[in-house]
Amino acid sequence: MRIAYQGEPGAYSEAAALKFHASADVLPCPTFDEVFSSVSSGKATHGILPVENSIGGSIHRNFDLLAEHDLSIVAEVELLVDHCLLAYPGTAREALRRIYSHPQALAQCEQFLRTLTPAPNSGKAAVEVVATYDTAGSAKLIRDGALKDTGAIASARAAEVFGLQVLASGIQDYAANLTRFVVISRQVETIPDADKTTVLFALPNEPGALFKALSVFALRDIDLTKLESRPIRGRPWEYMFYVDLSISRQDMRCARALVHLAEFAKWVRTLGSYKRWKDS
């Protein structure tokens, strides 16, 4: 099994890939688009993508890419994210003038970042917060540039990989900082013990359309654990909807609900039916 992920070695996506399959060969990719391309071309058997964080919310780019590509969700992984402040060896926290990290990580550490802001009239320079392409990539930028006035928010493993020191750990705003990842594959896999299904659909723009769509699940006592809307590109003010259902696609209630939904939706697509993550 070869799993493509976005980021550098030491990225949280790499940790999630190895949590899903400890002996997997992992393939780092510079962008989420390349993760999809690697799976589509056969360069990797699977890809792993963050889709939602318990603090920062949804990673919208990956919802859009799931709609654009004909790949199937075959599993999910939840990872407890513990952010650290990293710096070049010998750098003091007071010497930092900028902080690098991915926008999601920065959003998850807002309270900590505010503690780095100097008091008014203190005479100290402000600390600049700079968004980058990756958490571990931020650590790599510091290592490669020998930046002694720059910190990175990344994992403790990224510090080990790139030879940086940890100035502070557990700096996220909330201890329960969970990121949910989905595993994608070219193959549509039938998973016997699946208990979660992700569906994508579009509706006509008319009164009660969303109410009717959701009612097909409510009438059959199917629990929705997530509802996400995304704009349909090239069609201003029209939207598609993602729903996560606590049921297998093979369950007759789910099958009937989707047939019912297709009667008035513009289109319906099942992205995957898989087993919800449970830490052992």
Q: What is the pLDDT of residue 218?
A: 96
Q: What is the pLDDT of residue 30?
A: 92
Q: What is the pLDDT of residue 230?
A: 94
Query: Average of pLDDT values for 58-84?
Result: 95
Instruction: Report d(CA 46, CA 20) in Å as an integer.
Output: 11
Domain limits, the chain: 2-81+177-185, 84-169, 196-274
| 84-169 matches 2-81+177-185 in CATH topology | yes
The CATH H-level superfamily of 2-81+177-185 is Periplasmic binding protein-like II (3.40.190.10)
Query: Average of pLDDT values for 152-181?
Result: 94
Residue 54 reports pLDDT greater than 60: yes
* Residues tagged active-site: 179, 181
Instruction: Report d(CA 179, CA 76) in Å as an integer.
Output: 10
Any idea which architecture 196-274 has in CATH? 2-Layer Sandwich (3.30)
| Token pair listed for 41 | 């071309």
Q: What is the pLDDT of residue 249?
A: 95
When the pLDDT of each residue in the chain is averaged and rounded to a whole number, the result is 93
Residue 25 reports pLDDT greater than 60: yes
| Token pair listed for 53 | 């964080």
Residue 2 reports pLDDT greater than 90: yes
Cα dist from 102 to 12, 73, 83, 97, whole Å: 11, 24, 11, 17
Q: Tens digits of per-residue pLDDT, 186-235?
A: 988 788 899 999 999 999 989 999 999 999 999 999 999 999 999 998 88
Instruction: Report d(CA 59, CA 47) in Å as an integer.
Output: 16
Q: What is the pLDDT of residue 172?
A: 94
Tell me the percentage of the chain whose pLDDT exceeds 90.
Answer: 85
In words, the CATH class of domain 84-169 is alpha beta
Residue 246 reports pLDDT greater than 90: yes
Q: Tens digits of per-residue pLDDT, 113-146?
A: 988 876 555 556 678 999 998 999 999 999 999 9
Residue 73 reports pLDDT greater than 70: yes
Cα dist from 228 to 15, 88, 211, 219, 255, whole Å: 26, 40, 14, 20, 21
Q: Tens digits of per-residue pLDDT, 250-269?
A: 999 999 999 999 999 999 99
Residue 273 reports pLDDT greater than 70: yes
Q: What is the pLDDT of residue 160?
A: 94
